[in-house]
């Protein structure tokens, strides 16, 4: 079996080399995302549109390449995500998977990708374990992670006087990780955590938990949850007079589409950390305009911008190697090349697979301050690239230790 397989592989390699002279290098990219559920607006069709723009801007024909794109919905189930990834690699000859919101699914896909020696570029998922204990030579974590969110929002809020915290935490691994990371940052900066409450998934009504937060008398209510949960917490918090009573929310994982869904009236004053905002500069505005051709009336989230940036950089690395076949080699090449694109600017990828770029602390505008659609954020602070993400020394990533 083994011999036959390696023989077949060798033959395939010879043919591939021979074919390269005339035929363009085939590359197939799979956007594996949430097309229909809670993260669909933060990623979903908008991520697909972003990947298409990346391919268009890269111009495969000019590099002697032919790039195809496939899309699937992982339904936020790790088993569905893993089986689609497996099938894509085995049957459909997909070389790279991009996006994958939902930490559980991303961890599962990362395992499959390593087994099949392909490439996995995470833009949508948050869990910082992807560059920590679960890091992989085939995976790059692109846009953001839980450590960065905790660090960005946590540190700045403590420094501006939010010393006492109460957490409303989604009762699953991602929520606990976010709370753990943020608590550490808060305490390291002289703040204090007064309490927390774990909220089951698919909970609609947060008033009971908000009341507990209110009674804790904490200055800051940290929301270690995502999507609809965050939206409902903030919305009901406004209703119960939480903000009027002098307490403030810190959204640990809030995306622009969530702010749009909440409306500025409910979301105003919220402090959050992102790595991309469409209205940053002329380049991001121009890109947004092109993106909006396929997503009229919407504004891109940082996840979607990350898909663009990651796909573009991946294609550059494949062009340099003239082959997408060996996933580890492509990732190594991606780490070697400096990154540069209009959305995230210049950056690099660390040995543990962490993409490094600055992060920004934003505050949501009030309805009166917002001048045009999508004018939602005020930039409060820029966290420089070398401080935005967890230092490699604290990673516990086996890849890094092996290199030492």
Partner 1 sequence: MFEIFGVPSQALFGQLLIGLINGSFYALLSLGLAVIFGMLNVINFTHGAQYMMGAFAAYLLLQYLGLNYWVALVVVPLLVGASGMLVERLFLQYVRQLDHLYGLILTFGLALVIEGLFRNYFGSSGEPYQPPDLLQGGQNLGFMFLPNYRAWVIVFSLVVCFVTWFVIERTRLGSYLRAATENPALVRAFGINVPRMVTLTYGFGVGLAALAGVMAAPIYNVSPQMGSDVIIVVFAVVVIGGMGSILGAIITGFALGIIEGLTKVFFPEASSTVIFVIMAIVLLIRPTGLFGRTA
Partner 2 sequence: MAASVAPPAPQARVDRAHGAGTAIAFCIMVALLAVAPFVVYPVFLMQALCFALFACAFNLLVGYAGLLSFGHALFFGWASYLCAHAAKRWGFPPEAAVLFGTASAGVLGAAAGFLAIRRQGIYFAMITLALAQMMYFVALRAPFTGGEDGIQDVPRGRLFGLFDLSHEMTMYVFVLVMVIAGFLFIYRVINSPFGEVLKAIRENEPRAISLGYRTERYKLVAFVLSATFAGLAGALKALVFQLASLTDVYWTMSGEVVLMTLVGGLGTIFGPVVGAFLIVAMETYLAQLGQWVLVIQGAIFVVCVLVFRRGIVGELARALRVSL
Site for partner 1 in 28-87 (CB under 8 A): 36-42, 44
- Shortest Cβ distance from residue 241 to partner 1 (Å)? 5
Binding-site partner at residue 203 among partner 1, partner 2, none, CB < 5 to 8 Å by type: partner 1
C-alpha 108: how far from its chain's center? 16
Partner whose footprint covers residue 90, from partner 2, partner 1, none (CB < 5 to 8 Å by kind) = partner 2
Q: Select 55 or 82, whichever has its Cβ closest to partner 2.
A: 82
How far is residue 344's CA from residue 370's CA, in Å, rounded to a whole number? 24
DSSP 251-317: ESS--HHHHHHH-HHHHTT-EEEES--TTSSHHHHHHHHHHTTTSTT----HHHHHHHHHHHHHHHH
Spatial strand order of the sheet with 345-349 comes to 339-341, 345-349, 355-356
Asked if 215 interacts with partner 1 (CB under 8 A), we say yes
**d(Cα 143, Cα 303) in Å, to the nearest integer?**
6
Q: How far is the CB of 73 from partner 2 (least distance, A)?
A: 5
For partner 2, the binding residues (CB under 8 A) are 1, 35-36, 40, 44-45, 70-73, 75, 77-80, 82-84, 86-87, 90-91, 103-104, 107-108, 111, 171-174, 201
Q: How far is the CB of 107 from partner 2 (least distance, A)?
A: 6
99 touches partner 1 (CB under 8 A): no
Torsion from C-alpha of 190, 129, 251, 227, nearest 10 degrees: -160
- Determine the size of the site formed for partner 1 (CB under 8 A): 43
Q: How far is the CB of 37 from partner 1 (least distance, A)?
A: 6
Residue 369: name its binding partner from partner 1, partner 2, none (Cβ under 5 to 8 Å by kind): none
CA nearest neighbour of 98 among 5, 4, 31, 18: 31
Cβ proximity of 257 and 47 under 8 Å: no
What's the DSSP call for residue 392? G
Residue 108 CB, nearest distance to partner 2 (Å)?
Answer: 6
Q: Which is nearer to partner 1, 37 or 83 (CB)?
A: 37
Q: How far is CA 286 from the centre of its chain?
A: 22
- What residue 172 binds from partner 2, partner 1, none (CB within 5 to 8 A, per partner kind)? partner 2
The β-bridge relationship of strands 345-349 and 339-341 is antiparallel
Show the tokens assigned to 152.
């960005």
Contacts with partner 1, 227-246, as mask; x by CB under 8 A: xx--xx--xx--xxx---x-
Helical axes 103-116 vs 173-188, angle rounded to 10°: 100
**C-alpha–C-alpha distance, residues 25 and 132, integer Å:** 33
- Residue 208: name its binding partner from partner 1, partner 2, none (Cβ under 5 to 8 Å by kind): partner 1
Name the minimum Å distance from CB 238 to partner 1. 9
Between 228 and 358, CB nearer to partner 1: 228
3-class state of residue 339 by DSSP: strand
The nearest distance, CB 176 to partner 1, in angstroms, is: 11
| Shortest Å, Cβ 393 to partner 1 | 35
**Residues of this chain, 165-204, that bind partner 1 according to CB under 8 A:** 171, 197-204
Among 25, 65, 107, 262, binds partner 1 (CB under 8 A): 262
222 vs 33, 119, 125, 242, CA distance in Å?
27, 35, 20, 13
Query: What does 82 bind: partner 1, partner 2, none (CB cut-off 5 to 8 Å by kind)?
Result: partner 2
Work out the angle at residue 222's Cα, subtended by the Cα atoms of residues 36 and 100, and round it to the nearest 5 degrees. 30
* Phi, psi dihedrals of residue 242, rounded to the nearest 5°: -65, -50
Binder of residue 245, out of partner 1, partner 2, none (CB less than 5 to 8 A by kind): partner 1
Q: Which residues bind partner 1 (CB under 8 A)?
A: 36-42, 44, 171, 197-205, 207-209, 211-212, 214-215, 227-228, 231-232, 235-236, 239-241, 245, 257-258, 260-263, 265-266
């Amino acid at each position: 079996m083994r011999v036959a397989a390696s023989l077949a592989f060798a033959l395939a390699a010879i043919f591939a080399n021979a074919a390269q002279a005339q035929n363009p290098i085939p590359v197939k990219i799979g956007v594996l995302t949430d097309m229909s559920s809670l993260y669909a607006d933060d990623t979903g069709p908008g991520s697909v549109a972003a990947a298409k723009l990346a391919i268009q801007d890269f111009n495969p024909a000019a590099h002697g390449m032919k790039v195809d794109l496939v899309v699937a919905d992982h339904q936020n189930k790790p088993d569905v995500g893993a089986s689609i990834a497996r099938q894509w690699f085995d049957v459909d000859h997909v070389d790279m998977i991009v996006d994958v919101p939902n930490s559980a699914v991303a961890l599962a896909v990362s395992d499959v990708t390593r087994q099949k020696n392909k490439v996995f570029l995470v833009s949508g998922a948050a869990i910082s374990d992807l560059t920590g204990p679960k890091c992989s030579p085939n995976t790059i974590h692109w846009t953001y992670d839980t450590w960065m969110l905790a660090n960005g929002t946590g540190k700045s809020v403590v420094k501006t006087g939010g010393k006492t915290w109460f957490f409303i935490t989604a009762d699953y691994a991602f929520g606990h990780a976010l709370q753990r990371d943020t608590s550490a940052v808060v305490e390291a900066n002289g703040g204090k955590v007064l309490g927390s409450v774990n909220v089951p998934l698919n909970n609609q009504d947060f008033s009971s938990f908000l009341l507990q937060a209110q009674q804790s008398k904490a200055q800051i209510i940290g929301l270690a949850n995502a999507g609809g949960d965050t939206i409902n917490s903030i919305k009901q918090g406004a209703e119960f007079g939480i903000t009027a009573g002098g307490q403030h929310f810190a959204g640990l994982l809030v995306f622009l589409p969530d702010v749009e869904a909440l409306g500025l009236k409910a979301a105003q004053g919220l402090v959050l950390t992102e790595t991309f905002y469409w209205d940053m500069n002329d380049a991001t505005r121009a890109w947004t305009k092109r993106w909006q051709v396929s997503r009229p009336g919407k504004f891109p989230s940082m996840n979607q911008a990350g898909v663009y940036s990651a796909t573009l950089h991946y294609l550059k690395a494949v062009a340099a190697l003239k082959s997408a076949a060996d996933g580890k080699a492509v990732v190594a090449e991606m780490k070697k090349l400096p990154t540069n694109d209009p959305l995230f600017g210049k950056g690099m990828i660390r040995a543990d697979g962490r993409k490094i770029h600055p992060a920004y602390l934003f505050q949501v505008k009030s309805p009166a301050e917002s001048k045009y659609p999508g004018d939602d954020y005020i930039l409060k602070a820029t966290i420089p690239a070398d401080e935005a993400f967890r230092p490699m020394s604290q990673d516990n990533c086996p890849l890094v230790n092996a290199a030492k």
